[in-house]
């Protein structure tokens, strides 16, 4: 089995080491004997965006300016990207790129930053940022139930899609309804940096399995010894719960 993974705009959107998500996916595939073909795409890239031959897309977070530049570039591929997602394509969008898939993003000056308008998501920024470590109980049935990460965003995001989880410690989408992120088919949007996947190997495996299911007749992944990873995860959980 093999997966074609597209790392998009990591030269622009890579706050708090979001590129580590790609490293995590690569390693967890390698340990299982799953071949990975890595591709990178950014502004001015020579790599062709052939969505029919992409199994997973990873996009990190960045500044408002970076988000605006990337959104404007991705608009050229909007219809193909929308078709990719509606047909079960796997995509992880972190922070600014999560906001970018919505209808509107208004910065702290009230200026509207160009968005892809692929999901009914509204985001507006406020002067006081939502910053700190965050603990979430995931809503997609994974074990462990907890997700950990680091958030730093001025944006308050609102939508009616299924959330990635419920905030137990921290702020999440908007610091009001206690929801974090969103899930639509195999699209995950989240504010969690860290990078996200090394801190939450069960989410990494969830993403890998969904990509494989969309390509092969696969029901589960080969188990790995995640003792070290889960101990590190649980250590942060306990710290945030003051245990």
Q: What is the pLDDT along the chain (243 residues), one digit of tens a residue?
A: 999 999 999 999 999 999 999 999 999 999 999 999 999 999 988 777 899 999 999 999 988 888 889 999 999 999 999 999 999 999 999 999 999 999 999 988 888 888 999 999 999 999 999 999 999 999 999 999 999 999 999 999 999 999 999 999 999 999 999 999 999 999 999 999 999 999 999 999 999 999 999 999 999 999 999 999 999 999 999 999 996
- Radius of gyration over alpha carbons of the chain, in Å? 17
Q: Which residues are catalytic?
A: 95, 193
Task: Check: CB of residue 146 under 8 Å from CB of residue 138.
Answer: yes
Task: Check: CB of residue 70 under 8 Å from CB of residue 13.
Answer: yes
Q: Considering the domain 2-240 in this protein, what is its CATH number?
A: 3.40.50.880
pTM for the structure as a whole: 0.96
Find, among 134, 141, 147, 151, the residue nearest to 199 by Cα. Answer: 147
């Amino acid at each position: 089995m093999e997966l074609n993974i597209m790392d998009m705009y990591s030269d622009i959107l890579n706050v708090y080491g979001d590129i580590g998500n790609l490293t995590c996916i690569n390693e967890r595939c390698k340990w299982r004997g799953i071949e990975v073909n890595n591709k990178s795409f950014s502004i001015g890239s020579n790599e062709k965006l052939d969505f029919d031959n992409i199994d997973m897309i990873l996009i990190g977070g960045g500044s408002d300016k970076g988000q605006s530049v990337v959104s404007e570039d991705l608009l050229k591929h909007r219809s193909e990207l929308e078709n990719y997602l509606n047909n079960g394509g796997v995509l992880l969008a972190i922070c600014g790129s999560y906001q970018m898939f919505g209808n509107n993003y208004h910065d702290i000056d009230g200026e509207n930053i160009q968005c892809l308008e692929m999901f009914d998501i509204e985001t507006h920024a406020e002067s006081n940022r939502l910053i700190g470590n965050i603990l979430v109980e995931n809503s997609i049935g994974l074990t462990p139930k907890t997700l950990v990460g680091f958030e730093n965003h001025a944006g308050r995001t609102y939508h009616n899609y299924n959330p990635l989880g419920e905030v137990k410690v921290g702020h999440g989408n908007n610091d009001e309804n206690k929801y974090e992120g969103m899930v639509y088919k195999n699209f995950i949007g989240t504010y969690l940096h860290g990078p996200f996947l090394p801190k939450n190997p069960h989410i990494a495996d969830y993403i890998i399995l969904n990509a494989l299911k969309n390509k092969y007749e696969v029901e589960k992944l080969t188990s790995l010894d995640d003792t070290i990873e889960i101990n590190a995860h649980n250590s942060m959980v306990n710290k945030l719960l003051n245990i």
